[in-house]
Structure 1
Amino acid sequence: MKHAPLVEQLIQAFTCLPGVGPRSAQRMAYALLDRGRDEGRRLADALHGAMDGVEHCQRCRNYAEAELCPICSDPRREPGLVCIVSSPTDVLAFEQSGEFRGQYFVLMGELSPLDGIGPRELGLDVLEQRLREGQIQELILATGTTVEGEATAHYVLDLAQDAGVSVSRIAQGVPMGGDLEFVDGATLAQALRGRRPFQS
Structure 2
Amino acid sequence: MAGSAGPEIERLIGLLAKLPGMGPRSARRASLALLKRRDQLLLPLAEALSVAAERVKTCSVCGSLDTQDPCAICSDPQRDASLICVVEEVGALWAMERAAAFRGRYHVLGGLLSALDGMGPDALRVGPLIARAGEPQVLEVVLALPATVDGQTTAHYLAERLAGANVAVTMLARGVPVGGELDWLDDGTIAQALRARRPA
Same fold by TM (over 0.5)? yes
Equivalent AA in structure 2 for residue 107 of structure 1: L
Q: What stretches of structure 1 move > 4 A for 4+ residues in a row?
A: none
Equivalence for 1:119: 121
Equivalent AA in structure 2 for residue 102 of structure 1: G
Q: Is the 8 A contact 2:140 2:170 kept in 1?
A: yes
User: Is 1:169–2:181 an aligned residue pair?
Assistant: no
Please, which runs of 5 or more residues in structure 1 have no aligned partner? 176-190
Deviations 1:62-111 (A, max 9, x none): 11212111111000111111111112222222222222111111112211
Q: Secondary structure at the match of 2:75?
A: coil
Q: Distance in 2 between matches of 1:74 and 1:174?
A: 28
Equivalence for 1:180: none
Describe the shift of the 1:22–1:174 C-alpha distance in structure 2 as closer, same or farther (beyond 3 A).
closer
Q: Distance in 1 between matches of 2:197 and 2:98?
A: 25
Larger radius of gyration: 1
Q: Secondary structure at the match of 2:74?
A: coil
Equivalence for 1:56: 58
Q: Secondary structure at the match of 1:164?
A: coil
Equivalence for 1:7: 9
Q: Distance in 2 between matches of 1:37 and 1:174?
A: 42
Q: Distance in 2 between matches of 1:174 and 1:5?
A: 45
Equivalence for 1:87: 89
Q: Distance in 2 between matches of 1:171 and 1:195?
A: 5
User: How far did 1:51 drift?
Assistant: 1.9
User: How far did 1:161 drift?
Assistant: 0.8
Equivalence for 1:102: 104
Q: Distance in 1 between matches of 2:15 and 2:98?
A: 32
Q: Which has the higher contact order (CA 8 A, sep 6+)?
A: 2
Which stretch has the larger CA shift, 117-126 or 73-82?
117-126
Aligned length: 179
Q: Secondary structure at the match of 1:168?
A: strand
Please, which runs of 5 or more residues in structure 2 have no aligned partner? 178-192
Describe the shift of the 1:135–1:46 C-alpha distance in structure 2 as closer, same or farther (beyond 3 A).
same
Equivalence for 1:184: none
Q: Distance in 1 between matches of 2:37 and 2:95?
A: 34
Equivalence for 2:142: 140
Alignment TM-score, normalising by the size of structure 2: 0.81
User: How far did 1:174 drift?
Assistant: 7.7
